[in-house]
Amino acid sequence: MISHKNIVVTGASSGIGKSIMEELLKQEGNRILAACRRAEAITGYGDNVIPFSCDLSTKEGVDALFKKAEEVFDEHIDLYFCNAGAPYYERFDYEDWDRIKHLFELNTISHIYTYSKYLHHLNGREGRLIYTISAMGEMALPGYALYAATKFAMKGFQQAVRDEAPENLQISCVYPVSTRTNFFNVGTGGRKLTPPFPVQAPEKVGKAVVKGVNKLKEHIYPCPVYLPSKYLMSVVPPVKTLYVKAQKGKLHRFVKRLEEEKRGVIEDIKLKHELRK
């Protein structure tokens, strides 16, 4: 049972992080340092939740979060949920170094840097680090090339450090499927998109995560049909082909809509120009 613990949850203002936090608050005595960029959105939880604003895609943001945690928790972080992250939903066909860098900074570099910070913070004491990876860290889909790359990187990282980490540090990784959060809004710039099937509620994911962490599970799969589906796709490849084809069609329609939107703006500008003549 996770109770009377000092816990950091990143990405706590919304979606999966928020649900994890609410699940942890059901147990007695847990204190949570709840981090995201707009911590003013975290209200109504009482004294056991300390909202903290920081940009976790930067070294300064991660350092500031550790500094704050060491202040408010009297030096010891028992559990650290490294969850904040975001996608892009797009056709990957552009040359934009900064865009690529940003997603890796948020979803990968920040999480890897957190591992070292936490290891040093623990200095031999017991601790638990929980990474929200993604089903997309095991199976990439069209539209999520860059996002999947950031998550595959985390899958590789955890695999190696698991065998390097000292015994005082326990690592758990979570692989959610599509979850009804702000994620798809962020990834599409607020455009309509049907997420890849199956889709879960964030509350279910939060519950499964805390249950898995309680049981000291190394890998947590919140969706019960994910592993059987993955197995089915490996033994009956046409199932995977059909599934990927559906995602490919969705991306094609999304890109077409974007192009129409852009054309609309260009035509609008042309029209204004004509009217000014």
Distance of closest approach, residue 238 Cβ to ligand NAP, in angstroms? 25
In the bound state with ligand NAP, the residue whose beta carbon lies nearer, of 186 and 233, is 186
Q: Does 247 bind ligand NAP (CB under 6 A)?
A: no
What CA–CA distance (Å, rounded) separates 87 from 183?
A: 7
In the bound state with ligand NAP, the residue whose beta carbon lies nearer, of 38 and 263, is 38
DSSP the chain: ---S-EEEEESTTSHHHHHHHHHHTTSTT-EEEEEES-GGG--SS-TTEEEEE--TTSHHHHHHHHHHHHHHTTT--SEEEE-------S------HHHHHHHHIIIIIHHHHHHHHHHHHHTTS-EEEEEE--GGGTS--TT-HHHHHHHHHHHHHHHHHHHHS-TTEEEEEE---EESSSHHHHHHTS---PPPSPEE-HHHHHHHHHHHHHTT-SEE--STTHHHHHHHHHHSHHHHHHHHHHHHHHHHHHHHHHHHHHHHHHHHHHHHHHHH-
In the bound state with ligand NAP, the residue whose beta carbon lies nearer, of 38 and 270, is 38
Q: Does 178 bind ligand NAP (CB under 6 A)?
A: yes
Q: Does 131 bind ligand NAP (CB under 6 A)?
A: no
Q: Does 21 bind ligand NAP (CB under 6 A)?
A: no
Q: Does 203 bind ligand NAP (CB under 6 A)?
A: no
Distance of closest approach, residue 205 Cβ to ligand NAP, in angstroms? 8
Distance of closest approach, residue 262 Cβ to ligand NAP, in angstroms? 25
In the bound state with ligand NAP, the residue whose beta carbon lies nearer, of 70 and 138, is 138
Single out the residue of 178, 230, 227, 171 nearest to residue 205, CA to CA: 178
Distance of closest approach, residue 102 Cβ to ligand NAP, in angstroms? 9
In the bound state with ligand NAP, the residue whose beta carbon lies nearer, of 30 and 150, is 150
Q: Which of 7, 24, 80, 83 binds ligand NAP (CB under 6 A)?
A: 83
Q: Which of 2, 5, 6, 15 binds ligand NAP (CB under 6 A)?
A: 15
Q: Does 144 bind ligand NAP (CB under 6 A)?
A: no
Q: Which of 25, 64, 72, 86 binds ligand NAP (CB under 6 A)?
A: 86
Q: Site residues (CB under 6 A) for ligand NAP?
A: 11-17, 36-38, 55-57, 83-86, 106, 132, 134, 176, 178-179, 181-183, 186
